[in-house]
Structure 1
Amino acid sequence: MDNQTVAAIWSCASATCLSLDAKRHSVETNTNDRQAPPGLSNSNNNNNNNKSTAVDADPRKLRHIAHTPRGSCFMALLLLLLLALNFRHAHSCGPGRGLGRRRERNLYPLVLKQTVPNLSEYMSGASGPIEGVIQRDSPNFKDLVPNYNRDIIFRDEEGTGADRLMSKRCREKLNTLSYSVMNEWPGVRLLVTESWDEDHQHGQESLHYEGRAVTIATSDRDQSKYGMLARLAVEAGFDWVSYVSRRHIYCSVKSDSSPFISHVHGCFTPESTALLESGAKKPLSELAIGDRVLSMNGKGQAVYSEVILFMDRNLEQMQNFVQLHTDSGAVLTVTPAHLITVWQPEREALDFVFADRVEELNYVLVHDATGELRPHRVIRVSSVRSRGVVAPLTREGTIVVDSVAASCYAVISSQSLAHWGLAPMRLLYTLQSWMPAKGQLRTAQDKSTPKDATAQQQNGLHWYANALYKVKDYVLPQSWRHD
């Protein structure tokens, strides 16, 4: 949205506000003439006119104006302009996938005996190794969860409800698949013929015994649909899918405790540091909302940007991290699903890549002694398990942590789309910072409360980030997600 468009919106909305205010003034004048005693009508009207003129002449009285009809219209107009400016900012941020209409993708059905991925089911790139049979008296039995999704038919031949029991990850992917089935074939539901098995009716190494596998079909038993059903299972995020038989499809997932399952949101370690505008370095565990930290704009330049919220903050959670070691000595520790800024020298362009897909000899941007962000080679990639996760969100959507430029986003591969998705939170933060009452309260609190207490108030996942994570499987193709 260019400046001329913004000006046009302002002119049109201002004219609407003025006509609404004139109509309100006319109605109030007629009401006062009817209700006021003789001799007082003119004086009251004069007083009202004087008050209106005083308000118009003093735009600093924003708090008082907000309580009048004209003020309500003005605040709505302000909200519209902020929204327009906010979305313009989102369009210019980052070299990720562009915004706009999503291109239609052709989904091709699997063929009989085909597996996706084309690996052994027990490899780490698929569902991973066997962990052991789960019986009703096993300590791990409590980790199985029932699935009561009404859009799924469970055959449950045993009559024990065992087919409804499965791992949490399996339930999540199965529920996602059920929506895809209904969208693909209206009136048809997903049929589960086997899930957790306690009767040992499968092979010795079957993941059915751990609640990590399901055998599925469609409710109409139309075998011509099964190739596409297998493809939909792949899109739903199952870690291994096999068109094993003309009668059914087999799907399995990684263990809920697998170290190869990344944290649902990208995070850094609490000990990692950010550079404040004052020049001081601050651990992320002590970072506060409102701190201005070193970030990167859409052109790859170093800028300072405000922290507007924490998408996740848990100082006790154990988590697997990827470590990227650079030739400059900088080391970034981050969760596997986090987006990292990678320089592509052959194209002279910046891309955002999941941390666990950054390879040795790739280039990342490092903040050097000159104050610039420059490409440096990754010389080693390792993994580490550590305690605590912190995920600050800046207005720019990027942050420089331990001198390495990274996104504030994770899980989906598009920086632009992720930045657009958080636009409501940026808008909310902007509106809150403009409210005089909020500003006065913050000023008063600053005198008696340490600034980093802001960060201490949150422990856990931010509600908005959690909501976005829950809907991603239903609106984004698997190729855009880190599963």
Structure 2
Amino acid sequence: MFNLVCSGSSFCSRKRNVLNTQRKYFTMLLIFLLYIVAQVQSCGPGRGIGGPRRTRKLLPLVFKQHVPNVSENSLGASGMQEGPISRNDSKFRNLETNYNKDIIFKDEEGTGADRVMTQRCKEKLNILAVSVMNQWPGLRLLVTEGWDEDHMHARDSLHYEGRAVDIMTSDKDRSKIGMLARLAVEAGFDWVFYESRSHIHCSVKSDSSQSNHASGCFTGDSTVQTADGEKRKLSELKIGEKVLSVDSAGNAIYSEVMLFMDRDTHQSREFVHIEADGGSQLSVTPAHLVMVWQMLLGETRFIFADRVQEGDYILVNINNNLEPRKVLRISTKLSRGVYAPLTLEGTVVVDSIAASCYALIDSQKVAHLSFLPYRMAQKFMNLFKFSSQSHSLSLPRHEGIHWFAKTLYTMKDYILPSEWLYH
């Protein structure tokens, strides 16, 4: 929220009244906007609530098959290794112990290490345990290997981070392994591997990387160009400054920074690193929208950063003109600090590459429309001469996700169709 520093009780009261008034109008406009969106979505054919569901036949995995069909440490699977976790590591406090009675933990070491795992791994494992009991009544899920503190796996194993488990059914029937692997995929594990005739290997993304699903950001070292031509790091950017953006016609213009939708100086996240012809590079979270030039159609579209491929064309700022440049390489990196400025245009040129200010929703127009209440309320407050006071309320550089953005993120799963959302 906002940080209020007051020198007198009457001044504090006036600021609180302004803030409450802002939120009142924001809420009214937001409800109205969501009502319109909900009405639009209700039109047209569809299954509807309570309609018939088609059952889908589950096919077992075959020996040595893995889902998805990419390497375990790639962005599309469980992601990069973040480093082994020992009992003396500060990160160990973030791991959880799974006491689910529907799961058998082999625990050969006798230390309870197999029960230790990340929150995401625990969540997926518990879902799988229910699926196993439904598929084979009377049987339970067996975990043969979990968190490894004895370095018995490969150097880059995710077992060292509590993000991987090796599993089997309690009767150890090898004929069930292929279906068990399929059930693990359905349970939501980020990578499932029919590794051997005696077990299935499953792993998940790190809990820290799941912040990418809560917002979209750039790194703190990423730069923008201000209206006076200065290159400014996002970690140094202030609300109210004008930065290079892109208007609806595709022209480079300067647009005012309204707020930071997300700002966290300490959080580490996994970023997609895009390198383009000419040396331009951009690091952005996977769920963030990036402008891509479609050569055949002669127009731009916004796509999630992790959907950008080598050979695509992105728009690069050359002397305040946006020109398409070929993507040469896509990789991933870990970086500390996340920043997501929002301009009036809803776009921003970061490290000379044009991008959206938005994430999570696969539509620039819908995302920009969702912030219409905030933009309208700001203008409304300015009309009533609250501009100087409301502006001073926006200046404190909050940590975390902005309250208005957080409200929208909470509502999106109930308002928008799933195919519009980042998964």
TM-score (norm 2): 0.62
2:354 is equivalent to residue 400 of structure 1: no
Specify which of 85, 109, 121 is matched with residue 59 of structure 2.
109
1:315 Cα deviation from its structure 2 partner: 3.1
2:352 is equivalent to residue 375 of structure 1: no
Corresponding residue of 1:266: 216
Q: Is the radius of gyration larger for structure 1 or structure 2?
A: 1
Matches within 5 A, 1:200-279: 208=159, 211-216=162-167, 230-231=181-182, 233-234=184-185, 237-243=188-194, 249-253=200-204, 265-275=215-225
In the alignment, the residues of structure 1 paired with residue 45 and residue 227 of structure 2 have an alpha-carbon distance, to the nearest angstrom, of 35
In the alignment, the residues of structure 2 paired with residue 317 and residue 222 of structure 1 have an alpha-carbon distance, to the nearest angstrom, of 44
2:388 is equivalent to residue 443 of structure 1: yes
Instruction: Give the secondary structure class of the aligned counterpart of 2:219.
Output: coil
Q: 1:429-461 CA deviation, whole Å, 9 max, x = no partner? A: 145325549953442476xx5xxx835431234
In the alignment, the residues of structure 1 paired with residue 286 and residue 173 of structure 2 have an alpha-carbon distance, to the nearest angstrom, of 40
In the alignment, the residues of structure 2 paired with residue 356 and residue 104 of structure 1 have an alpha-carbon distance, to the nearest angstrom, of 31
Matches within 5 A, 1:36-55: none
1:367 Cα deviation from its structure 2 partner: 3.3
Instruction: Give the secondary structure class of the aligned counterpart of 2:385.
Output: helix
Instruction: Give the secondary structure class of the aligned counterpart of 1:214.
Output: strand
If each structure's helix is expressed as a fraction of its own residues, which one has the higher value?
Answer: 1
Contact 1:319 1:385 in 2 (8 A): yes
1:350 Cα deviation from its structure 2 partner: 2.9
Instruction: Give the secondary structure class of the aligned counterpart of 1:374.
Output: strand
Structure 2 residue runs of 5 or longer lacking an equivalent are 1-20, 48-52
1:133 Cα deviation from its structure 2 partner: 8.1
For 1:460, give the aligned amino acid: G
2:406 is equivalent to residue 459 of structure 1: no
Contact 2:280 2:353 in 1 (8 A): yes
2:296 is equivalent to residue 346 of structure 1: yes
For 1:398, give the aligned amino acid: T
Instruction: Give the secondary structure class of the aligned counterpart of 1:406.
Output: strand
1:216 Cα deviation from its structure 2 partner: 4.9
1:374/1:444 Cα in 2 relative to 1: closer, same or farther (>3 Å)?
A: same
Instruction: Give the secondary structure class of the aligned counterpart of 2:121.
Output: helix
For 1:313, give the aligned amino acid: R
In the alignment, the residues of structure 1 paired with residue 38 and residue 90 of structure 2 have an alpha-carbon distance, to the nearest angstrom, of 48
2:366 is equivalent to residue 415 of structure 1: no
1:399 Cα deviation from its structure 2 partner: 1.9
Q: Structure 1 vs Structure 2: percent identity of aligned residues?
A: 43
For 1:415, give the aligned amino acid: D
If each structure's strand is expressed as a fraction of its own residues, which one has the higher value?
Answer: 2
Contact 2:224 2:243 in 1 (8 A): yes
Matches within 5 A, 1:20-419: 108-113=58-63, 114-118=65-69, 139=89, 142=92, 145-147=95-97, 153-156=102-105, 162-171=113-122, 173-174=124-125, 177=127, 181=131, 191=141, 193-194=143-144, 196=146, 208=159, 211-216=162-167, 230-231=181-182, 233-234=184-185, 237-243=188-194, 249-253=200-204, 265-275=215-225, 282-291=232-241, 293-297=243-247, 300-302=250-252, 306-317=256-267, 321-327=271-277, 330-355=280-305, 358-369=308-319, 371-378=320-327, 387-410=336-359, 412=360, 415-416=362-363
1:390 Cα deviation from its structure 2 partner: 1.1
1:401 Cα deviation from its structure 2 partner: 1.9
1:364 Cα deviation from its structure 2 partner: 0.9
For 2:291, give the aligned amino acid: T
Q: How many residues align?
A: 385
For 1:341, give the aligned amino acid: M
Kindly report the root-mean-square deviation, in angstroms, between the aligned alpha carbons of the 2 structures.
5.8
1:363 Cα deviation from its structure 2 partner: 1.4
1:316/1:435 Cα in 2 relative to 1: closer, same or farther (>3 Å)?
A: same
In the alignment, the residues of structure 1 paired with residue 260 and residue 362 of structure 2 have an alpha-carbon distance, to the nearest angstrom, of 17
In the alignment, the residues of structure 2 paired with residue 295 and residue 405 of structure 1 have an alpha-carbon distance, to the nearest angstrom, of 7
